[in-house]
Structure 1
Amino acid sequence: MSVQLALSAALSGLRTTQQQAALASHNIANATTAGYVRRDLALSSSSVGGQGAGVKIDAVARRVDELLIRDARHETSRYTGQETRASALADYALVLGQPQDERSVSTQLSKLQQAFSRLHDMPNDDAARNGVVSQATTLAQSLNSAAQAAQTVQADARDRLGIAVEVVNTSLHRIGELNGAIATLDAKGGDTGDLRDERDRLLDTVSEQIGIRTYNRDDGQVVVMTRNGQTLLDRQLAPGDTPLTIVGNDLMANGASLSANPDTDIQSGRIMGYIQTANQDMPRALAQLDELAAGVVQRFQNAEADPTQPGLFTDAGAAYTATAGLASRIAVNAAVRTESWRVQSGVQAAAPLQPGDQTQIAKFSAVFTATGAFSATDMPASATLGDYATAMVSAQQGYRTGAEAEMNARKISADTLQSARINRDGVNIDDEMQKLLLIEQSYGASAQVVQVAGRMIDILLQIRG
């Protein structure tokens, strides 16, 4: 090797180590930057006329494991979907209570039964009569509160669904812009690492909101689809384009409905959780409450002399007309609030019964032991009011605990994959510091070669002189 080639090789080594040091420093500086992927220089040997002439830099390499990223996003998306649903169910269950809780509907119904039992023993006692009226009012209010809680959770889920859809659409617009920039820069041989980092962060954001699939084109652009194959992004979006839209209570992806079967059409993400809460969980909860309210209103109405007229409980002051929405409308008959003797003699009675007469009280008490039909989802088809109320409260708590158990399992899986992703693609400061030490040694060696080559050239010039 000639002195000139030796000097050229050493200088290429100096240039390379200089860029390696800068890149390692850049990695260290971004060690805590969310979504940053470690960079390395892709190097190869340089030769001139078949002889080694040092090293050359081919590119700044950003190496990621696409399969690991895909799995991490999918598990995170499944976790966020379950977390959203579990949170909504917990909010509702907090108001509904456990079967044994003081505030639960089942407890309030049991207390009303006990109040009638006391009245049966003391039919002439004003305190016992007022106790029945007070407990009946508390039961109606408990059903009202539970229905209001379910409606609030449902409305909140719909509001949050709108926000999540906006987040997805905004992110997809930016991803489309990055796709174009990456394709252009790739064609020029430029470094697209920072653009790809930003795009991956946005894809992570989208996957938290809705389950997605992605694939990369040869020009570096990424195509985004829902889990069931509905395309969300395959080109740069025009201003005003909305891949996801909400029409009424329906979520649409480019005109195709995703709300009917979110488990199969969406599969994961917060959007699935919001849709399940708004379209499945809370409507089911309201239907169960309405069935209980209908049972209470109808059975006490049937215990009266005229079962077509309002009884102890009413549908907003009127006789029973419809089950839908009844839990929100159920109220104690205004007549018993002003004339408590009616809980002993009958709400429709024209005059009080004889003191000590327990006939009507016995009819009211029989309401709690009679078995009737129910048609709500996941509820017994035939049960007493108390058994139905206990089953309803237990079922709602079961939905909550089931969702929380699923959420916790998904979180473990998601955290494991995210840690694996960070460990593989992220920055390990200890490794980068060791690289800097090696770079320093390499730089020193190349510098020494330059010095030796320089002295050799000086000697040759002296000889020629």
Structure 2
Amino acid sequence: MGLSQALSTAMSGLRATQASLSLVSSNVANAETPGYVRKTLNQVAGTTGEFGSSVLIAGVNRQLDEFLQAQLRTETSGAAYADVRSDFLTNLQGVYGNPDSTGTIEDAYNKFLTALQGLSTSPESQSARISAVNAAQSLAQQLNATSQGIQTLRANAEAGISDSVSTANNAMQQIARINVQLQAATGTSDASTGALLDERDRYITQLSQLMDIRTVTNSQNQVTVFTNSGVQLVGSEAATLSFNAQGTMTPTALSNPDPTKSTVGTITINFPHGGSYDLVSTNSIRSGKIAAYLELRDKTLVQAQTQIDQLAASMSSALSDKTTAGTAATAGAQTGFDIDLSGLQSGNTIHLTYKDNATGVTHNLSIIRVDDPSVLPLSNTTTVDPNDEVLGVDFSGGMSSVLAQLNGALGSTAGLQFSNPSGSTLRVVDDGATNRSDITAASVTTTVSSLTSGDPHLPLFTDNGGLYTGAINASGSQTTGLAARISVNTALIGDPSRMVIFATNPQTPAGDTTRANLILNQLSTASFSYSPQTGLGTTGAPFTGTLLNFTKQFISQQGEAATAAKQLADGQDVVLNTLQSKMDSVSGVNMDEEMAHLLALQNAYSANARVMSSIKQMYDTLLQIAGG
């Protein structure tokens, strides 16, 4: 090797050492920088002359395990999803309150029952009457407050979606920007390229907290980001998400797969070259913060509202709904029943039981009055009883229209015939000689509207001052949001004696216990079935129990859900932290290793410098000899 070759080799060594020292300095400086990936120099041997080998810098390596990185992003989405759910369910548990504390639905209900027991014992006591009305008001107000708390949480989820969409848009735009910069730097692998890749990874990780994503990277360092459902978010250009927030959340603000029927905000992706896509109705986001917010707003908290709405509805109906059996009727060879529809209101039900003699099957038919034909036909799930066959009938056109609808629906199929012999009487009979069906029972359930109707049933609770009848119209069921609107009948507040007196001619004796006992029995020992939409029971086997049983059950269910969500979030955080530790061990900066590397570089630098110094001395000696 000639001196010039040796000098060139030593200089290449100095250059490589200087570049490595620069990377070590950068690694040490960014040891605590989130998302920073340790850099090393990629060195290769190069030929110098006939005998020597110099060192060439082939680029900068990022110490990155891409498989581990993909796992980390998946778990980041899962952890963010679990943490959001846990936080909200803990807050929801706070809205319901601790069952053992005051200021809860269960506490207010128990105090109401205690007041009713006092009224049943001393119905003539004005104090007992007032106490019962006041306790009823406290219960109604507790339901109002609980509903408000649930809707506040839904509003918070809506705000969380809006903030997440803004963050996601910024992250996607930054990823696209860096893709363009990297494309311009194709073929280079220096420290600046590594810094861009680090920055892009940080934005991808940020995006993975918001939604479940996967990435595809090509040979030119261009990354394409998709949702796990396959929707492309970023390529050389970024898509844009838009969210049409609807403002204040109310119980009637509900999501619907049909965009024309949905009354909550949805997320739409707008692609760079035109076209858009609804990410919510297509279930395109399945994890991350956004998925958690959507699930909470549209399912979890809606179910919580349904639970207290069902309690309010069942409690109201238990006191105001009166069932009256039909009276036997005949028309020649035909037999059946006469049913008095004088008190029938929208949402009230006519019950028929008939046996199909050809098949031996007994049918339980619920004919529900509706005054808005746009809601027809009604589903069999309109009632809680799984054995019910439901028929909605529009009463807005009068009795002749009602008869036409009933005979049209049941005349040919069941052999039943309907008529109106007089006034508001509905007569239903079998077909006589053919004997296709036998009608075995008939009744009507109506909502009592007066406090002094002569019947102990009463509208103790009202819907913002109006009767609760379970009406169904184009806006939905009256049950939806009832807990937010339930109140005590103002006539009772003005005259608590109506808690006892239910007739004025002759007047109910002051010490009569009939009404007080009915109220107490209905609210403490009577058993009811509840909609499976509350999350309790199923369509085929609905939850059945007293009102207090139902209350305790859904509050207990909520507590268990909050505990399970916290355990899931804690477990997910452990998994995430474990993966992050593995990632840090591979890609993070280890100060001990960097210091050891620094000492090695110092020695290498000194050695290369010593070689250059020796070569200089040799050149000086040669020049002296040549000059001599």
| TM-score (norm. length: structure 1) | 0.93
Corresponding residue of 1:223 = 224
The structure whose residues are more often strand, as a share, is 2
Whether 1:362 and 2:504 are equivalent positions in the alignment is: no
Separation of aligned partners in 1, 2:287 and 2:8? 57
Corresponding residue of 1:193 = 194
Whether the 8 Å CA contact 1:297–1:315 is kept in 2: the answer is no
Q: Following TM superposition, by how much is the alpha carbon of 1:355 offset from its aligned partner in structure 2, in angstroms?
A: 3.4
Corresponding residue of 1:14 = 14
Whether 1:308 and 2:448 are equivalent positions in the alignment is: yes
What is the alpha-carbon root mean square deviation over aligned residues?
Answer: 2.2
Q: Following TM superposition, by how much is the alpha carbon of 1:423 offset from its aligned partner in structure 2, in angstroms?
A: 2.1
Corresponding residue of 1:251 = 267
Corresponding residue of 1:402 = 564
Whether the 8 Å CA contact 1:341–1:352 is kept in 2: the answer is no
DSSP 3-state at the match of 1:56: strand
Unpaired segments ≥5 residues, structure 2:
245-258, 271-275, 324-342, 344-445, 450-457, 470-477
Corresponding residue of 2:304 = 285
Q: Following TM superposition, by how much is the alpha carbon of 1:82 offset from its aligned partner in structure 2, in angstroms?
A: 1.4
Percent identity over the alignment is 32
Q: Following TM superposition, by how much is the alpha carbon of 1:66 offset from its aligned partner in structure 2, in angstroms?
A: 1.1
Offset from partner CA, 1:152-186 (integer Å, 9 cap, x none): 11122112101111211121111111101011112
Corresponding residue of 1:71 = 71
Q: Following TM superposition, by how much is the alpha carbon of 1:352 offset from its aligned partner in structure 2, in angstroms?
A: 6.7
DSSP 3-state at the match of 2:268: strand
Q: Which amino acid aligns with 1:235?
A: S
Q: Which amino acid aligns with 1:378?
A: G
Offset from partner CA, 1:324-350 (integer Å, 9 cap, x none): 11111100111222222222324x768
DSSP 3-state at the match of 1:311: coil
The structure whose residues are more often helix, as a share, is 1
Offset from partner CA, 1:185-234 (integer Å, 9 cap, x none): 12456541111111111001100011101010221110000011111112
Offset from partner CA, 1:404-454 (integer Å, 9 cap, x none): 221111111111111211221111122111111111111111111112222
Separation of aligned partners in 2, 1:173 and 1:296? 53
Whether the 8 Å CA contact 1:345–1:361 is kept in 2: the answer is no
Whether 1:334 and 2:490 are equivalent positions in the alignment is: yes
Corresponding residue of 1:317 = 465
Whether the 8 Å CA contact 1:233–1:243 is kept in 2: the answer is no
Aligned length: 459
Q: Which amino acid aligns with 2:230?
A: G
Whether the 8 Å CA contact 2:243–2:265 is kept in 1: the answer is no
DSSP 3-state at the match of 2:137: helix
Residues 189 and 414 (structure 1 numbering): CA distance in 2 closer, same or farther, change over 3 Å?
closer
- Structure 1 window deviating more from structure 2 (196-205 vs 443-452): it is 443-452
DSSP 3-state at the match of 1:111: helix
Aligned counterparts, 1:367-382, within 5 A: 367-368=522-523, 369-375=525-531, 376-380=533-537, 381=542, 382=544
Separation of aligned partners in 1, 2:9 and 2:240? 55
Residues 100 and 349 (structure 1 numbering): CA distance in 2 closer, same or farther, change over 3 Å?
farther
Residues 198 and 34 (structure 1 numbering): CA distance in 2 closer, same or farther, change over 3 Å?
same
DSSP 3-state at the match of 1:54: strand
Separation of aligned partners in 2, 1:364 and 1:311? 11
Q: Which amino acid aligns with 1:242?
A: T
Q: Which has the larger radius of gyration?
A: 2
Whether the 8 Å CA contact 2:95–2:150 is kept in 1: the answer is no
Separation of aligned partners in 2, 1:236 and 1:258? 19
Q: Following TM superposition, by how much is the alpha carbon of 1:399 offset from its aligned partner in structure 2, in angstroms?
A: 2.1
Q: Which amino acid aligns with 2:309?
A: D
> Which residue among 566, 574, 579 is the counterpart of 1:412?
574
Separation of aligned partners in 2, 1:319 and 1:233? 55
| TM-score (norm. length: structure 2) | 0.70
Whether the 8 Å CA contact 2:304–2:534 is kept in 1: the answer is no
